Amino acid sequence: MIVIISAVVQLGMLVFIKYQLPNIDTSGWPYLLKNYGFNVFVYQFYFIMGGCAAIHYQEFVAFIRKWHIWFGVSSLVFACGTVLLYFYNVHVLNLTLNKAEEVHQPFIFIYDVVIIGYIVWLGLRYADLRKNYLPKWITNFVAIGAKISFGIYLSQTLPLALMFVVLSSLPSGNGWVLLVMLPFIYIITALMGYALSYFFYKVPPFGFLIGRPQHIRKVVRT
């Protein structure tokens, strides 16, 4: 019941943010109300859902395993739907590019929920397979990635900026070429972030840049 109420509140809040808030003068509002992206309450469902999942972990895992196909199919459908959502935002609602791509939208909220469920199932499947069925290099790659995952999030600006420069240099009018390249661009960007964060993780004193500060040992001479 708590999760359901939280989801209803979240959905109602996002409907208001998308369809009502742009028409309201918020110049006199407090900072965290008019800059809602920085307001933790806007993300309340994810905290409550995570807390309930942790408290009722076994039931949560059983639910994900039972409905994983539904989560997978829904994730694919909603992922394709984001393309239609973009054109709806731009050509029907006449939103700016930033507002059209904003995460605070009812459709994106539902998409987030189903894809998070599917990602959890992928993690469970990996846990099932890693001991006996996966090569050692894959498990090592994932284990290191888990340690530097926050660093990848922090350092992704650099690879994204580089990709922006590369893509901006392409001739205009090659939309289909760009569409085909997108999966490879995502992979290259993620690998660059991984490599950069791993460097920071292994080479002192840069660990603090990714939240993994190295403790440099002092050599005491006698």
| Separation between Cα atoms, residue 160 and residue 189, nearest integer Å | 7
Q: Region 6-15: what's the mean pLDDT?
A: 96
Tell me if 160 is assigned to some domain: yes
| Helical residues (DSSP H) of 89-135, grouped into ranges | 97-100, 106-129
Range of the domain at 144: 137-222
DSSP code of 209? G
Instruction: Read off the pLDDT of residues 48-65 as tens digits, 9 standing for 90 and up.
Output: 999 999 999 999 999 999
- Which whole-number Å values give the CA distances from 156 to 65, 103, 104, in the listed order? 32, 18, 21
In a domain, 212, yes or no: yes
**What pLDDT, on a 0 to 100 scale, did the predictor assign at position 222?**
52
Domain annotation covers residue 172? yes
Q: Has residue 220 been placed in a domain? A: yes
Torsion of CA 87, 16, 111, 64, to 10 degrees: -170
What is the number of domains present in the chain?
Answer: 1
Amino acid at 204: P
Q: What is the pLDDT of residues 107-151, one digit of tens each?
A: 999 999 999 999 999 999 999 998 888 899 999 999 999 999 988
- Write out pLDDT tens, residues 143-190: 999 999 988 888 888 898 998 888 888 776 667 777 788 888 889 999
103 within a domain of the structure (yes/no): no
127-131, 196-200, 211-215: which has the minimum mean pLDDT?
A: 211-215
Residue 97 predicted with pLDDT over 90: no
